[in-house]
Chain A
Amino acid sequence: MQKRTLELLPEIQNNLTNMGTQIREIRLRKKITATELAERVGISRMTLLAVEKGTGTVAIGIYAAVLHALDGLDKNLSKLCSDNNNRRKVNLNEWADNQYAMQRNMPVELRVAERGNHKYRSATEEDALIYAAVHAWNNAIKTGWIEKRKGGYRLCEI
């Protein structure tokens, strides 16, 4: 059977390479040799070198074990998934654009082009929902899709 290779996005690979470099720097600062650290973790020296290179195919358990051997740094791993008290940070405009485009069945790129090149602000998902609704209403009035009339509105075709 042919062995499957994992192809990572360049951004992911960069992050792993940076992490590997940092692991190597910590090890060197602590004046621990690669052989010594590999023995402590219970892996081969080659595997440790793969970790320090940020190889994507090394199991996360091995990364965690190496970090643990470097004074319990694996504790920080769980923080990576912390969502800041369930208030996930989202890119407000990006999120609003996606919602807007999805509801109107239009490509999101068109929406971004239509809106112009504003700077993205970071906000919570809750904020994004609120802003998206306000944005949708203002936009409906601005584009004439919903027209204000005395005593109400008119739905227009655009």
Chain B
Amino acid sequence: MRNLVKEIGKKFQNKPMQERMSIAALISEQAQKVGNYLVVVGGSAVEFYTAASYMTKDLDFVAKDSYRIAEIMRGLGFTCQVGNYWTHPDTAVIVEFPTASRDDVLEGDYDKVLQVETDYGTANVIGIEDIIIDRLCGREFWHDKNTLPEQLILSHYDEIDFAYLRQQAAYQLIDRTLDECLDRVERYR
């Protein structure tokens, strides 16, 4: 059997974002074959939406169902050593299923999920609005001092559903943080 992870690692030696997305697509395709659905969330999604301006080491997934995840990962050559972290000898990418024990917990809307096609299949990436809300929550509750929400809004301004963004911000009790962020964004536009 072809070691596709090794092939991806070799092909995208100096392109970590492409490597991560291709591995994400490979795993997602395998999951889809058994009726599961994976969504790329967290840092990897931010990395994609900022075209690798922001970089991460992990590849975080939310699985609609934890069904056969371990089997798929082992089949691709990954091993699980600690918690939900999966590693592979031919790549530095660490795959994490933060919510593997809880099914269907995407912090966002499945209808907003975008598909990213690669040569190794299609990866599903959390919607831009939901990842902005996630980073704003980080700013509000974890005191993250970064400008990722501004970067994401400015890069995707024309595609963002601002009504949904506001609705989600209100739901997460971060409306004021969003308003401050949008004020800052306007200064850059």
Q: Which residues of A contact B (CB under 8 A)?
A: 99, 103-105, 126-127, 129-134, 136-140, 145-146, 149, 151-155, 157
If the complex has contacts A153-B114, A153-B117, are A137 and B150 also in contact, measured as CB distance less than 8 A?
no
Q: Is the CB of B21 within 8 A of A133?
A: no
Q: Give, as a whole number of angstroms, the nearest-CB distance from B147 to chain A.
A: 5
Q: Give, as a whole number of angstroms, the nearest-CB distance from B29 to chain A.
A: 14
Q: A129-B147, A137-B49 are in contact. List 13 more A-B contacts (CB 8 A).
A: A99-B53, A104-B14, A130-B154, A133-B154, A136-B52, A137-B53, A140-B51, A146-B51, A151-B115, A152-B116, A155-B18, A155-B21, A155-B117
Q: Is the CB of A105 within 8 A of B53?
A: no
Measured as residues with beta carbon below 8 angstroms from the partner, the interface class of chain B is 20 to 34
Q: For A136, list chain B residues within 8 Å (CB).
A: 50-53, 155
Contact with A along B147-182 (1 / 0, CB 8 A): 100111011100000000000000000000000000
Number of A-B contacts (CB under 8 A): 72
Candidates B49, B55, B114, B118; contact of A155 at CB < 8 Å: B118
Q: For A145, list chain B residues within 8 Å (CB).
A: 51
Q: Give, as a whole number of angstroms, the nearest-CB distance from B114 to chain A.
A: 4
Q: Is the CB of A133 within 8 A of B53?
A: yes
If the complex has contacts A134-B154, A137-B156, are A154 and B117 also in contact, measured as CB distance less than 8 A?
yes
Report how far A151 CA is from B116 CA in the complex, Å. 9
Q: For B118, list chain A residues within 8 Å (CB).
A: 154-155
Q: Is the CB of B51 within 8 A of A105?
A: no
Q: Give, as a whole number of angstroms, the nearest-CB distance from A139 to chain B.
A: 7
Q: Give, as a whole number of angstroms, the nearest-CB distance from B23 to chain A.
A: 12
